[in-house]
Amino acid sequence: MIRMGEHLGWGSVMQPLRELQSAWEQQWPEAARASRYRALRDDELIWEAQRAALAFCEDRQLRRLTPGLLATITEASDNVESLEGIELIIAAWWVGREVSDDEYRAWGARAVRGYADHA
């Protein structure tokens, strides 16, 4: 997953995960070597499955979430009425991480009202 994240342009986000993985492997080397997942996984098969999923998304012309697009969406998240589709879903995820539960519910209610008013 880390390799795919880097492949998709999220290297700066993946770096802390790489560091965490490395720290875990150094802190518990026996557990890292004995990991059932690690023992049974096939890295090349996993990479091929990830590439196939990416090719499917590209074939369907799904929009790729890049760090730049995420920044644009998060900046626009205050103006929830202007968001649609995947941008609205991503904004909801972002806002849910950044604000209190009450603020998130208010944000969601604003979104619903905005769409109901335009229906």
pLDDT digits (tens, 9 = 90+) for 81-109: 788 888 999 999 999 999 999 999 999 99
- Give pLDDT, residue 94: 92
> Which segment of 11-20, 23-32, 70-79 scores lowest on mean pLDDT?
23-32
* Alpha-carbon gap, residue 87 to 56, rounded angstroms: 20
Q: What is the pLDDT of residues 47-66, one digit of tens each?
A: 899 999 999 999 999 888 88
List of residues 6+ apart from 32 with CB closer than 8 A: 24, 25, 38
The SS3 of residue 100 is: coil
